Amino acid sequence: MIIGIISAMVEEVEPFLDLKEAEDMLHYFDHYEDVRYAGRTYHHINYRGHKIVLVYSKIGKVNAALTAATLIEKFGAEMVLFSGVAGAIDPALKIGDLIAATQLCQHDLDITAFGHPYGYVPEGKVYVEPDRELMVLAKKVADEKGIELKAGIIATGDQFVADPKRKEWIRQTFQAHAIEMEGAAVASVCDDLNVPFFVLRAISDAADMDAAFDFDEFLKHSSKVSSDFMMGLVDKIIDDHAQS
Ligand code: SAH
């Protein structure tokens, strides 16, 4: 299998790359090759007999879309997993909590002037859904490891939201639980190319007045929470593949 893993920022891929130094991983996480393409570095990793292609896309929907398409079309990714941080909209989500997207939408896509709903363009859909099987496997990982994995709608847009009014508008308009800047772009590309995907985020801030401060404070920690869980999911995917 070739598994693509995307994050947006270098800080979010670092905890994955650190695994090659981890003692218990020495025999698994190996054979490293970095391929530079279209302004990004794709890390090719052999892991338990499969291949991981790990990359940070840079921030925002365009960057994420290009990277997802490249992973699939150029590097042959058979599934795409997104790991990173997000702002919480749902007050039940606290810093460090994990949320798996059940649906993703673009909160800044707006042709409502023509009578269309927010987040919609003709021949598209407002909400894109991740692969059901990957969701089931993620739930198993959470149960087995005793980790609380929340699930909910993630809204994506080319804005760092640090504004209670904008946050409330996104909550009301899309019933979103968390907000970030790449997930729906990856989702849309994978959906169009028929490639299973899964989007995981650990909360870094509450998209409020303190968001920029909290983000800087918790980026590293929440990135690691997300990458740790994601490697658990990768293991589960490989185990599941071996059995089928
Ligand atoms: N500090 C960075 C910019 C971070 S942008 C710099 O100066 O370069 C925020 C990143 O984290 C995006 O990749 C986005 O997906 C995610 N994110 C976390 N909290 C967010 C929020 N409140 N609103 C939007 N995106 C958020």
What distance in angstroms lies between residue 26's CA and the mean position of ligand 1's atoms? 32
Residue 31 clears pLDDT 70, i.e. is over it: no
**Cβ–ligand 1 contact at 208 (below 6 Å):** no
Mutate to test the pocket of ligand 1, among 83, 85, 182, 217 (most ligand atoms within 8 A of CB): 85
SS3 state at 227: helix
Taking the C-alpha atoms of residue 29 and residue 17, their distance in angstroms, rounded to an integer, is 9
Mutate to test the pocket of ligand 1, among 63, 160, 209 (most ligand atoms within 8 A of CB): 160
Torsion, Cα 182 188 193 199, to 10 degrees, reads 50
The pLDDT value given to residue 20:
77
What distance in angstroms lies between residue 191's CA and the mean position of ligand 1's atoms? 24
pLDDT digits (tens, 9 = 90+) for 88-118: 999 999 999 999 999 999 999 999 999 999 9
Active site residue 228: no
pLDDT digits (tens, 9 = 90+) for 73-86: 999 999 999 999 99
Superfamily classification of domain 2-243: Nucleoside phosphorylase domain (3.40.50.1580)
What distance in angstroms lies between residue 8's CA and the mean position of ligand 1's atoms? 9
Taking the C-alpha atoms of residue 95 and residue 207, their distance in angstroms, rounded to an integer, is 11
Q: Please check whether residue 96 is in contact with residue 218, taking contact to mean a CB–CB distance below 8 angstroms.
A: yes
What distance in angstroms lies between residue 86's CA and the mean position of ligand 1's atoms? 7
Nearest CA to ligand 1 atom 25: 180
- CB count within 10 Å of CB 151 equals 17
- Region 179-205: what's the mean pLDDT? 98
Of 12, 131, 191, 214, the active-site residue reads: 12
Active site residue 210: no
Residue 174 clears pLDDT 70, i.e. is over it: yes
Report the candidate in 85, 83, 92, 153 with the shortest Cα–Cα distance to residue 119: 153
- Region 129-153: what's the mean pLDDT? 98
Model pTM greater than 0.85? Answer: yes
**Cβ–ligand 1 contact at 87 (below 6 Å):** yes
Residue 177 clears pLDDT 80, i.e. is over it: yes
Residue 23 clears pLDDT 80, i.e. is over it: no
How is the chain split into domains, by residue range? 2-243
The pLDDT value given to residue 40:
98
